[in-house]
Chain A
Amino acid sequence: MSQKGLVIKEKIVSESPRDHLIRKERFPHIWCPGCGLGTVLKCYVEAIAASSIPEDKHVVISGIGCTGRIAGYVRLDSYHVTHGRPIAFAEGMKIVRPDLEVTVISGDGDLVTIGGNHFIHAIRRNVDINVFLVNNFIYGMTGNQMGSTTPLGAKSSTSPYGCPEPPFNLPLLAAALGAPFVARWTTLHTRQLAEAMKKAFQVKGFALIEIISPCPVGFGSYNELREGKDYIKLFLENCIVDHSADLNKAAISLRPGEPIILGNFIQREMPSYHDFELEVFKKAGWLK
């Protein structure tokens, strides 16, 4: 059927092709214009659609905060748990139901500031869960207080003259504890992020993806990144993709001239908790 001479216009529709994986009746979501969390959700949904694991085997767990809302927007089995405890919850779920693909999507304040100890010990144990940590450098929902990922010198509502503490270098921390998969991407690198998520589903063991996300209303309003386009400029100018980067230098400073290093830093095979568990069960005589 030829449509020559027809003027192409944008088509107004009411459904998108991925609506079967999101709770479309709750859209538009509560996140601010310019927030990167919707893009994280989009990449996660695309990664699920492209993965070979059926949708009913995927489980999403999230904690408290803006990112914690992701559990409410996916049409999958999803759990919204207490502050800082999604990793503890996910570990229990994966140990009891090893057939599920358990994913934790939560924020930096939730996972590494309040739940930091769970984060460290889950990596040490190497339980087979995926953690997608959305880092917006601040506690967004509670009122833009500084947290453990706020870069040195960055302003926030509780550090109006600049944050006096150096931030966590999360890829280095995870690598030092023996995580089999560590990556970092921004919400601008959507296709790379979805690919990394697909790889994380395949990994046997703890997979960490740190996602740098814009927060123009919270962090941005204190640090001259007031709109989404300011963040795009920041990412385009400062991001360097280097899969074999020296993680000692991967801390984020956000100062001009100091790059944000991205990439799938670590991909290796490590014995996971489940292997040891099976051995222990055999020794105890619980398995035939």
Chain B
Amino acid sequence: MSLKIIREPINKYIQKIPLGLIHVIPERCKECGYCIDLCPKDVLTVSEERNIKGYRWPKIADGKASECIACRMCEWICPEFAIFVVEADRREYE
């Protein structure tokens, strides 16, 4: 008896990993690094540019563009209300 008889979950092809679109407010950032350190997917890194106070805000690292799974850890931990995530449909982008 082959393994194929074992039932597949009926929602296997409907299940999708959420995609997060990261929004940043650069003027508020103070470069504490919490969003970058705590991202479970290591999506974020510091930008090259600096804001008016000399801090580098978070940006998406190279090659990590579609890695965000919208867990919102960065949004919750940010002391400055400077980053938030909007959930999108992954199928529209891939």
Contact = CB atoms under 8 A, between A and B. Distances in A.
B34 A232 contact: yes
A275 interface: no
A191 B65 contact: no
Contacts of A6: 93
A227 B33 CA distance: 9
Contact of B65 (A9, A18, A187, A227): A9
Interface string A195-229: 00000000000000000000000000000000111
A3 B25 contact: no
A4 B66 CA distance: 12
Interface residues of A, number: 45
Contacts, number: 104
Interface residues of B, number: 36
B79 A39 contact: yes
Contact of B28 (A17, A27, A188): A27
B81 A33 contact: no
B26 A12 contact: yes
Contacts of B23: 10-13, 16
Given A17-B84, A38-B80, A227-B33, A9 B93 contact: no
B71 to A, nearest CB: 10
A262 B37 CA distance: 22
Given A8-B21, A10-B23, A11-B22, A38 B78 contact: yes
B87 interface: no
A8 B81 contact: no
A10 B37 contact: no
Interface of B: 19, 21-34, 37-38, 53, 55, 58-60, 65-66, 68, 76-82, 84, 92-94
Interface of A: 1-4, 6-19, 22, 24, 27-29, 31-39, 41-43, 46, 187-188, 190-191, 194, 227-229, 232
5 contacts: A12-B25, A39-B79, A194-B76, A227-B33, A229-B33
